[in-house]
A and B are shown apart, each in its own frame.
Chain A
Amino acid sequence: MSESTELMSRTDNPPKLADQLPTLIPEVDIFENDDEILLYADMPGVTKDSLSIKIDNGKLLLSGIRRFPASGAFAWKEFTNAEFRRVFSVPQTIDFEKVNAQMKDGVLCLHLPKSESAKPKQIEIKVG
């Protein structure tokens, strides 16, 4: 059900520029503690402005485009303009309003805080 709606919305809004670029899968580190899920992703060459983070229906989509100014004749080319793209499943317990993203040195740092109700609670046992 959710799969089919995703396909539909893609045809409605084709990402035209990204279509021509090769897609790379960014390498990620994912950590979790009681308060949040923390994600680092290597996206060398991606600027803050060309990065988009979408959370929809339990899916987190990271997409960043990098472009280099073309100059000179390349003697070799081991990497090119590309789109970094990766989709993750995220639990519904994430507080989407408080998601915080930073881009530094081509590394995305994404904080996904858990909502209050999802945090583990210490239950106090009263002596009756």
Chain B
Amino acid sequence: MTTPWDDFNQTFQAMNLFRNRMNTIFNDFDQLSNFNQSWLVGETLPRTSLSDTGDNLEIFVEVPGFAKEDLNVKIQGNYLEIRGTRKAKIPDGYLVHRVERENLSFSRSLTLPHDINANRVEAALKDGILRMVMPKSEAAKPKQISIG
């Protein structure tokens, strides 16, 4: 037997389902960007990820085929600029079947969420990923407040 109360519950259940779906939709969206990158603005830009580890900001940049001489990084305050040029290498005497790796030079500038102490930035290039550990400037670091 169905009472009006059951109808009421059912409606709420449906709404809950919808809410859960909405909660995960942004994760799905993030993943989608990996499958189909074509809608991203400026496809030649290298993709980056930025992580906040408390004292530091860490940035990861996809730069396959770039040697460290090919990359140029500038930081000022919370402004970060990465430039890179990769040499085209079509080998001599070869017939070309397919060339997809065309993005030979790029420039990307980013506004970071915090000011950076540019003197203590560490940058490392490994397996085509540039990783930079950027210490936040003193004013931007989290502080422990003792209650007196």
Mask, B1-19, CB within 8 Å of A = 1, is 0000000000000000000
Binds B, one of A28-36, A94-102, A118-126: A28-36
Kindly identify which residue among B50, B67, B90, B91 contacts A105, using a CB–CB cutoff of 8 Å. Answer: B67
Chain A proximity of B69: nearest CB distance (Å)? 11
Given A75-B52, A80-B31: A106 and B95 within 8 A (CB)?
A: no
* Binary contact track A41-85/B, C-beta < 8 Å → 1, others 0: 011111100000000000000000010100111111111101000
User: Of the candidates B95, B100, B113, which one forms a contact with A32 in the assembled complex, judged by CB atoms under 8 Å apart?
Assistant: B95
Q: A44-B129, A105-B65, A105-B125 are known contacts. Are A72 and B101 too (CB-CB below 8 A)?
A: no
Question: For chains A and B in complex, what number of residue pairs have CB atoms within 8 angstroms?
Answer: 123
Distance from B63 Cβ to chain A, minimum over Cβ atoms (Å): 7
Asked whether A29 lies within 8 Å of B100 as measured between CB atoms, the reply is yes
Of the candidates B53, B97, B101, the one whose C-beta lies within 8 Å of that of A42 is: B101
Chain B residue at minimal CB-CB distance from A40: B101
A18 at the binding interface (Cβ < 8 Å): no
Q: Which residues of A are found within 8 Å of B90, using beta-carbon distances?
A: 29, 31
- B38 contacts the other chain (Cβ, under 8 Å)? no
Q: Which residue of A lies closest to B55 (CB)?
A: A72
Residue A110 at the B interface, CB < 8 A?
no
* A87 at interface, CB cutoff 8 A: no
Tell me, in angstroms, the Cα distance from A46 to B66 when the chains sit together: 14
Query: Which of chain B's residues have a CB closer than 8 A to the CB of A6?
Result: none
Is A22 in contact with chain B by the CB < 8 A criterion?
A: yes
- Judge whether B58 and A105 touch: CB under 8 Å: no
Cβ-defined contact, B50 with A74, below 8 A: yes
Name the contact of A24 in the complex, choosing from B34, B57, B63, B91 (C-beta under 8 A): B34
Contact at B98–A107, with CB atoms within 8 Å?
Answer: no
Question: B54 touching A72 by the CB < 8 A rule?
Answer: yes
Q: Once bound together, how far apart are the Cα atoms of A82 and B57, in whole Å?
A: 23
30 contacts between A and B (CB under 8 A): A24-B35, A27-B100, A29-B99, A29-B101, A33-B95, A38-B94, A40-B101, A42-B101, A44-B63, A44-B127, A44-B128, A44-B129, A46-B128, A47-B127, A68-B60, A68-B129, A71-B58, A72-B51, A72-B54, A72-B56, A73-B51, A76-B48, A76-B49, A76-B50, A77-B50, A78-B48, A79-B62, A105-B64, A105-B128, A106-B128
Chain B residues within CB distance 8 Å of chain A: 30-31, 33-35, 40, 47-54, 56-58, 60, 62-67, 90-91, 93-101, 113, 125, 127-129
What 6 pairs between A and B have smallest CB-CB spacing? A106-B128, A72-B53, A44-B128, A31-B94, A106-B64, A78-B47
